[in-house]
Structure 1
């Protein structure tokens, strides 16, 4: 049992480090003796869950992809009732998204029943700086980590309201952290407004959102949506434990 716990802890450490780490870093991070780390990692290599590169660093192996795909599918199934309830309560499209590497990926969606609605499809990948879900998730990360991400991705402008200045973006994250929700004011798609909250204590960096045409996403609707989104995120978090 202890070996299983340690092996999964090593996989999570590798994921937190970006997927590639030297053995010495795993030993430092875990506090385990180097021979123990080497034995566990070699077992994970033999099983295909970890791979050793020519540089002698270890990377997460391709066999994890199948587990990740199945996990993402289950996340979508668990999220769907919560998203459907949000659509019933507010009337606009509801989404769940996750930070995957440096990108936001949409994992689940329930569309509004309005004839004019949003068509952000499941599986779509976008950069986090121009989305409410991205802001909600990044508002929970340390500022240096966010700045490093922005440096890697850049902040391309999609519309006239896209934030392209890191300091302005960080200020918005502080506001989102204080308010408990984040907004996208047509920053990804012109004329689309979105509100999002992070999913607390989730195993992945997740957020729930409501999106719709700016004309329907009024201040009154946003005021109504915040507690409903917050409760949905908490309920989903409870389901994932």
Structure 2
């Protein structure tokens, strides 16, 4: 019976999976040659060789120019997806907590999609015809508070405003938020800026205008601004926010093929 000795290797009870896991655990430490994988895992050389070639075909392992084995492109893609999933989960928790704290009917996060905006996450009190805005579907910019925040950054950055429009955009950027009445009722839109000061997203809260009269309470605005600051630190890097792209070249089997 072979004893697997690789670090950080937690047995699953499925032999071949445990062996592959042991090999990947060794690769977590950096590029290694085949003899090192053998000595670190406690597996026989033929077994390691056979499994390494197999996982190369799956894109989980590849060999560098020195013939050392390293983590493959498929693992890199999985890591990106996992990182994004964790970020989205934490983001939804943040939106849910803000909705519960403020009593808003809906809390959403929007990002730019070309000349449109996209709802990327939301927390709703109830699903209704008005509150269900098909998250994930891009919509055109308009005169609503969310669009006004996006356009304030865009127009000033491109110098596309003059006169009163310039003053309004400048005021929104300085204040960091704007509110107004839409079909959903009263909507508060708060800028979520990155470290460079550029607009990364817009956080919005909606509530029936008859309940909040004509404006949100100062405490609600303060909570929303603080939540936007926390969200800005949790947003994935720009290159990770979109769908994970497939590599142009399929995984190739490289490295030693025989004993």
TM superposition score category, shorter chain reference: 0.5 to 0.7
Q: Does 1:177 find its partner at 2:173?
A: yes
Scaled by the length of structure 1, the TM-score of the pair is: 0.52
Quote the Cα distance in structure 2 between the aligned partners of 1:121 and 1:234: 26
> Is 1:90 aligned to 2:102, yes or no?
yes
Superposed CA deviations along residues 124-155 of structure 1, whole A, max 9, x for unmatched, are: 3222332322222333345262739xxxxxxx
Aligned residues: 155
| Structure 1 CA distance for aligned equivalents of residues 217 and 134 of structure 2 | 22
Q: Distance in 1 between matches of 2:90 and 2:175?
A: 26
TM-score (norm 2): 0.49
Quick one: higher RCO (CA 8 Å, sep 6+), 1 or 2?
A: 2
Q: Which residue of 2 aligns with 1:4?
A: none
Corresponding residue to 2:189 among 196, 201, 216: 196
> Greater Rg, structure 1 or structure 2?
2
Q: Is the 8 A contact 2:188 2:216 kept in 1?
A: no
Q: 1:137, 1:205 within 8 Å by CA — same for their partners in 2?
A: no
Determine the C-alpha separation between the residues in 2 that align with 1:74 and 1:134: 28
* CA drift at 1:198: 1.1
The reply to whether residue 233 of structure 1 matches residue 245 of structure 2 is no
Q: Which residue of 2 aligns with 1:134?
A: 147
Structure (1 or 2) with the greater helix fraction = 1
* CA RMSD, Structure 1 to Structure 2 (Å): 3.5
Q: How does 1:84-163 map to 2 (within 5 A)?
A: 84-92=96-104, 93-113=106-126, 118-143=131-156, 145=158, 147=160
Say if 2:146 and 2:202, in contact at 8 Å, map to a contact too. Answer: yes
Query: Which sections of structure 2, spanning at least 5 residues, go unmatched?
Result: 1-76, 237-259
1:217 aligned to 2:212?
yes
Which stretches in structure 1 are left out of the alignment for 5+ residues?
Answer: 1-65, 149-165
- Aligned to 2:160, the other structure's residue is in SS state helix
Q: Quote the Cα distance in structure 2 between the aligned partners of 1:89 and 1:210.
A: 12
